[in-house]
Structure 1
Amino acid sequence: MMRTSKIAIAFMGLALALGGSTVALAQMDAEVEAAMASGAVGEQADGYLGFAKAPSAGVKAKVDAINIKRREGYTQVAQSKNVPIEAFAASIGCKTLAGLKPGRSYSVAKGVWATKGAAPVQLPSQCGG
């Protein structure tokens, strides 16, 4: 329970600590947004973007850059809250998957991709699902 509380507090801390950076992370490049809309790129339960289909070199480079920025933000908050970075990143992944738009690709297990329909995403056990 205490670990879950620390992760929840850390998630709130990310939003506060990154402020404007959170908005920058949410604003994707048009090429990445198009790849997400087509289902080639999607959100993962680990808190990072992944590839449901083989990406172009340009999309791969842009997604890698986004994931690096995410990792930097996760690291900053996780260290300040004394929680494992991977656990904090996964808590963000859980929140992201829970709010995913219909039609978007997602992965709750490494290498297994699905498309969000009208029903909620079946979250992995790490999310309490």
Structure 2
Amino acid sequence: MIRKTMTVLALGLAMTAAGANLALAQSAAAKAAVDAAKAAGTVGEQADGYLGIVAGGDAGLRASVAEINTGRAAAYRDIAAKTGVTPEAAGQATAKQLYSRLAPGQYWKPLDGGWVKK
């Protein structure tokens, strides 16, 4: 029980650091493009911790999403190495934090479903 509590605590601390790492891992242009697309309903957050295209989106937007997702993947691998969880678990834990920061009207995709508007 103590070991599980320590793992959860370490994962929580790593998730806080992940927020900073995610911000650093993306270019300002990619972030601006994705933020605008999230506000427009073209891009949404997924329960696996990655961004997804809800509908439409040109090649430039898709490249911005891919750039940010690449940075997130690296952050999740780093968190996993430090905490002993899988990168998938790190991504899902981060997704919970990302969901809490979604503005009303933005999109979210649960692990077992389609896009829903918050």
Q: Judge same fold: TM > 0.5, yes or no.
A: yes
TM-score range relative to shorter protein: 0.7 to 0.9
8 A Cα contact 1:104 1:115, kept in partner: yes
Question: Where does the alignment leave 5 or more consecutive residues of structure 1 unmatched?
Answer: 117-129
| Partner in structure 2 of residue 119 of structure 1 | none
SS of aligned partner of 1:109: coil
Q: Say whether residues 1:58 and 2:60 are aligned partners.
A: yes
RMSD of aligned residue pairs (Cα, Å): 2.5
Structure 2, unaligned stretches of length 5 or more? none
Count of residue correspondences:
115
Q: Is the 8 A contact 2:37 2:43 kept in 1?
A: yes
The structure where helix makes up a greater share of residues is 2
* SS class of match (1:112): coil
Where 2:44 maps in the other structure, the secondary structure is strand
TM-score by length of 2: 0.80
Provide the secondary structure at the position in 2 that maps to 1:43.
Answer: strand
Whole-angstrom distance in 2 between the partners of 1:105 and 1:8: 29
| Stretches of 4+ aligned residues off by more than 6 angstroms | none
Deviations 1:41-79 (A, max 9, x none): 010000000011022100001100100000101101111
Quote the residue 1:23 is aligned against. 23
Residues 69-121 of structure 1, C-alpha deviation per residue, up to 9 Å, x if partnerless? Answer: 001011011111111110111011112113321111111135601111xxxxx
Alpha-carbon spacing, 1:101–1:11, altered in 2? closer, same or farther (3 Å):
same
With over 3 angstroms needed to count, the CA separation of the structure-2 counterparts of 1:40 and 1:29, relative to structure 1, is same
What's the % identity of the aligned pairs? Answer: 32
Partner of 1:102, secondary structure, is: coil
